Amino acid sequence: MYRSVNVLINDSKHRPPEHFLVEDQMRELISWYNENKTKLHPVELAAVFHHKYTYIHPFIDGNGRSGRLLTNLILMRSGYPICVVKMEDRDEYMNALKKASVNNDYTNFIEIIEKSVDSSLDMYFYIVG
């Protein structure tokens, strides 16, 4: 179930939508995904979807984890490997999410997801020789 209370995100200027708006915004997100899944590059689609999902913050807890799982589902459906945001990149990842939330600028966040996908591809290519 979606959250039934309002929440705040630590260290963020972004205020998630009020709880009574979450269900409609999630419906809008799914519509956005369906409209854009053949228009956007899969990596861009996954990154923007991830941000939009975490921006809504549909649950009290676990939004980042479930957002990353959905990001990887989108990537895998398009034949891409999963992306793993490394701990040493966490600050950059969080700052890029904040920038997208506050300034509606996805550039850095898309680059972080691209970098993570490239890193996964490099590892896969190394393993298969």
Which residue ranges form the domains of the chain, and what is each CATH number?
19-128 (1.10.3290.10)
Mean pLDDT of the chain: 94
Q: Is 110 a residue whose pLDDT tops 90?
A: yes
Burial 36-73 (b: 16+ CB within 10 A, else e): eeeebebbbbbbbbbbbbbbbbbeeeebbeebbebbbe
Q: The whole model's pTM is what?
A: 0.93
Q: What are the tens digits of pLDDT across the range 33-57?
A: 999 999 999 999 999 999 999 999 9
pLDDT for 120 equals: 94
The residues that are catalytic are: 57
**pLDDT band per the 50, 70, 90 thresholds, residue 10:** confident
